[in-house]
């Protein structure tokens, strides 16, 4: 177990390597295109990128030429030299770079950093120079380019990106690249990337007819096909079973509400940019909801409460809407419409640890079910400099609730790491990072403490002593959203879902038209037993039907011909290639029912 601060990516050696490579790449591009306008080039997970405004579209041959020039720059062992400058000096240095001038304006006002991100305090304006290239940058970097490994850097691809992620701004060309400490690390990453491409939830989601996006509907707004609808229902059934046993009550709330509610909760000042603009009717502004919590607070506060009722656990798979920037949308992982496995627990301080760790236990129960072996629970804390801006301005309650969470995790024997300045605006939280079967990292869910909103909504309960007390609130979403969870599961299982979760569990394949009647009888029998089965009565030959079922990753294929009809049996072919001929129908039905009921990962 660890309660020591986790090393931030921004402080790591890989970050410095990638940040330095981004500058080297920018130098190579500007030398190739002297008229280029360069913008930002941050390190990201597994690599870095840089956005350019160029006179023409880049080609694969251009990337090869840029890589070649990067190797030459790296070999020069040019020192990275930092200099703090005034806004006037910076404007002179970047007088021909309009995007840099815009960023300098933000830095001077103390509102935006050199990447265009909001700032909490006014920073120094600094530049970094190496060789003949200068960039607006706060660092950090390696000491000199010779510390970079030319055989551990690779340019990956070019994509379009709107300036500052705003679709109303100019479209730029973004070069994505990766960089590592050594060549073996790069090769391992590239191998993992190839496997990830095969598992990409966007491709598999389309191929397996789970979800898609449509331009007329809008970006970030997924349309769930019948197969996706089945998966959603199975996840909701799972959540309801688990939450019923844990003493949750289900509620339902509207998809929109008056502006007053979000002003009352305090969300509007903090989250206005992530909310869809309001609609006005009869002089009243309404918002589509970006979160469920204010309405759950209303439900808790709808009548007097006693300490005898606590904890009160209110759960809802509510649909929320958040306006994510176009450049940040990514399949099901970053969407604008989401169905959240949401719940709010209202509890006393005495019961806090029990309830908080009960939520952690839910996470681990789900991890076991889905075979998630690697995970990290991160205690996200506030930062003093953000009080009153990014965080509720109450240092005493921040320290108190952070200590409560830290103590609960230690007492529960649950390993965790700490990360400063990453809390929710109303309290500390446990963020859950998980890794899929191929080692890809996902931010899945969160377990948050809220010491602010119960007081804002005047929520209370009568204590044993007869006094009115304000409850603590725990926000939790162990199964994240349908969108993110299903996106993760598609990649985790490569589309080969466990039987209970598979949209189609059994496909019955008659050898000839003469076996259609038996196939339909089997389909009806299995459906009545609660199995998602379908008979393929198409005109294709048997082998083609088997191939199609394999492409759809159906767990069980039942081939039926004369022998099977005569013996009330099936010829079972499993998705993993195993098979059993002459299997009695009753035996197969019992097998598949047991796999479904137990939510087994076995075929």
Query: Residue 536 has what pLDDT?
Result: 97
Q: Convert the pLDDT of each residue in 30-82 to its tens digit.
A: 999 999 999 999 999 899 999 999 999 999 999 999 999 999 999 999 999 99
**SS3 letters for 106-120?**
HHHHCCECCCCCECC
DSSP conformational letter for 35 = T
Query: Residue 4 has what pLDDT?
Result: 44
CB distance 582 to 563 below 8 Å: yes
| Helix 395-411 vs helix 349-370: crossing angle, to nearest 10 | 50
Contacts of residue 555, defined as CB under 8 A and 6 or more positions apart, other chains included, come to 496, 497, 499, 502, 505, 506, 574, 575, 603
Instruction: Report the first-to-last Cα separation within the chain, whole angstroms.
Output: 36
How much is the pTM?
0.80
Nearest Cα neighbor of 219 from 322, 110, 68, 298 is: 322
Query: Residue 121 has what pLDDT?
Result: 60
Question: Tokens in use for 132?
Answer: 């003949």
* Interatomic CA distance for residues 567 and 275, integer angstroms: 62
Query: Residue 109 has what pLDDT?
Result: 83
Contacts of residue 283, defined as CB under 8 A and 6 or more positions apart, other chains included, come to none
Nearest Cα neighbor of 378 from 423, 418, 427, 425 is: 418
* Interatomic CA distance for residues 432 and 444, integer angstroms: 6
CB distance 140 to 16 below 8 Å: yes
Question: Tokens in use for 502?
Answer: 């598979």
Give me the DSSP letters along 505-554.
-EEEEESSGGGHHHHHHHHHHHHHTT--EEE---SS-HHHHHHHHHHTT-
506-598 belongs to which CATH class? alpha beta
Q: Which residues of 320-333 are buried (b: 16+ CB within 10 A; e: fewer)?
A: bbbbbbebebebbb
* Interatomic CA distance for residues 132 and 93, integer angstroms: 13
CB distance 408 to 352 below 8 Å: yes
Contacts of residue 373, defined as CB under 8 A and 6 or more positions apart, other chains included, come to 367, 435
Q: Which residues of the chain does CATH 3.30.980.10 include? A: 9-191
Question: Tokens in use for 595?
Answer: 């796999």
**What residue ranges of the chain have pLDDT lower than 70?**
1-7, 111-122, 388-389
Beta bridge partners of 447: 430, 476
* Interatomic CA distance for residues 328 and 160, integer angstroms: 12
Neighbours of 595 (CB within 10 A): 21
Query: Residue 435 has what pLDDT?
Result: 87
Architecture of domain 207-247+289-493: 2-Layer Sandwich (3.30)
Q: Convert the pLDDT of each residue in 323-358 to its tens digit.
A: 998 878 999 999 999 999 999 999 999 999 999 999
9-191 belongs to which CATH class? alpha beta
Answer positive or negative: Cα dihedral of 43, 337, 481, 225. Answer: negative
Residue tagged 């910076």 (tokens): 90
Nearest Cα neighbor of 450 from 475, 419, 480 is: 475
Q: 585: part of which helix (H) or strand (E)?
A: helix 585-598
* Interatomic CA distance for residues 563 and 367, integer angstroms: 43
Q: 189: part of which helix (H) or strand (E)?
A: helix 183-199
Query: Residue 7 has what pLDDT?
Result: 55
Q: CA 215: distance to chain centroid?
A: 22
DSSP conformational letter for 86 = -
Q: 244: part of which helix (H) or strand (E)?
A: helix 226-245
Query: How many Cα atoms sit within 13 Å of 141 on the Cβ side?
Result: 29
Query: Residue 117 has what pLDDT?
Result: 66
Q: 358: part of which helix (H) or strand (E)?
A: helix 349-370
Q: Which residues of the chain does CATH 3.30.930.10 include? A: 207-247+289-493
CB distance 432 to 363 below 8 Å: yes
CB distance 524 to 517 below 8 Å: no
- Count each helix (H run) and each strand (E run) in the chain, helices first: 18, 28
């Amino acid at each position: 177990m660890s309660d020591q601060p986790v090393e931030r990516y921004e402080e790591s050696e890989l970050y410095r390597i990638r940040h330095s490579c981004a500058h080297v790449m920018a130098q190579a591009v500007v030398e190739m295109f002297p008229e280029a306008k360069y913008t930002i080039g941050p390190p990201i997970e597994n690599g870095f990128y840089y956005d350019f405004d160029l006179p023409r579209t880049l080609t694969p041959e251009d990337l090869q030429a840029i890589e070649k020039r990067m190797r030459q720059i790296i070999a020069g062992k040019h020192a990275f030299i930092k200099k703090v400058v005034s806004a006037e000096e910076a404007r002179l240095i970047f007088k021909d770079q309009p995007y840099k001038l815009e960023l300098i304006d933000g830095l001077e006002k103390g509102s935006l950093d050199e990447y265009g991100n909001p700032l909490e305090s006014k920073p120094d304006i600094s530049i970094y120079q190496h060789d003949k290239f200068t960039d607006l940058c706060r660092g950090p970097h390696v000491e000199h380019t010779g510390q970079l490994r030319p055989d551990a850097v690779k340019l990956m691809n070019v994509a379009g990106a709107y300036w500052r992620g705003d679709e109303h701004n100019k479209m730029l060309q973004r070069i994505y690249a990766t960089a590592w400490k050594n060549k073996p690390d790069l090769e391992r990453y590239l191998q993992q990337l190839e496997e990830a491409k095969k598992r990409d939830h966007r491709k598999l989601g389309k191929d397996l007819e789970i979800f898609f996006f449509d331009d007329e509907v809008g970006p970030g707004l997924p349309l769930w096909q019948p197969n996706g609808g089945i998966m959603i229902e199975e996840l909701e059934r799972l959540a309801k079973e688990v939450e019923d046993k844990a003493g949750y009550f289900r509620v339902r709330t509207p998809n929109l509400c008056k502006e007053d509610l979000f002003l009352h909760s305090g969300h509007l000042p903090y989250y206005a940019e992530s909310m869809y603009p309001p609609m006005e009717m009869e002089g009243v502004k309404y918002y589509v909801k970006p979160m469920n919590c204010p309405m759950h607070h209303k439900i808790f506060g709808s009548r007097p409460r006693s300490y005898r009722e606590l904890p009160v656990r209110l759960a809802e798979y509510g649909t929320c809407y958040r306006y994510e920037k176009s450049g940040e949308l990514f399949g099901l992982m970053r969407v604008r419409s989401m169905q959240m496995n949401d719940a709010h627990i209202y509890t006393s301080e005495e019961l806090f640890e029990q309830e908080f760790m009960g939520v952690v236990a839910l996470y681990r129960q789900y991890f076991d079910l889905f075979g998630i072996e690697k995970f990290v629970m991160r205690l996200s804390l506030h930062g003093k400099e953000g009080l009153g801006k990014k965080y509720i301005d109450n240092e005493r309650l921040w320290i108190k609730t952070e200590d409560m969470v830290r103590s609960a995790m230690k007492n529960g024997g649950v390993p965790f790491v700490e990360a400063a300045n990453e809390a929710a605006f109303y309290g500390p939280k446990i963020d859950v990072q998980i890794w899929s079967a191929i080692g890809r990292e996902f931010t899945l869910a969160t377990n948050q403490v809220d010491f602010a909103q119960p007081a804002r909504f005047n929520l209370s309960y009568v204590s044993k002593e007869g006094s009115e007390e304000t409850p603590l609130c725990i926000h939790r979403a162990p199964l994240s959203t349908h969108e993110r969870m299903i996106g993760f599961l598609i990649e985790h299982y490569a589309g080969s879902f466990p039987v209970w979760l598979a949209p189609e569990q059994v496909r019955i394949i008659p050898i000839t038209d003469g076996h259609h009647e038996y196939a339909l009888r089997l389909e009806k029998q299995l459906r009545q037993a609660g199995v998602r089965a379908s008979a393929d009565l198409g005109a294709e030959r048997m082998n083609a039907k088997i191939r199609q079922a394999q492409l759809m990753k159906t767990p069980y294929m039942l081939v039926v011909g004369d022998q099977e009809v005569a013996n009330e049996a099936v010829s079972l072919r499993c998705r993993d290639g195993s098979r059993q001929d002459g299997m009695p129908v009753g035996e197969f039905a019992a097998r598949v029912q047991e796999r479904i009921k137990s939510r087994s990962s076995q075929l």
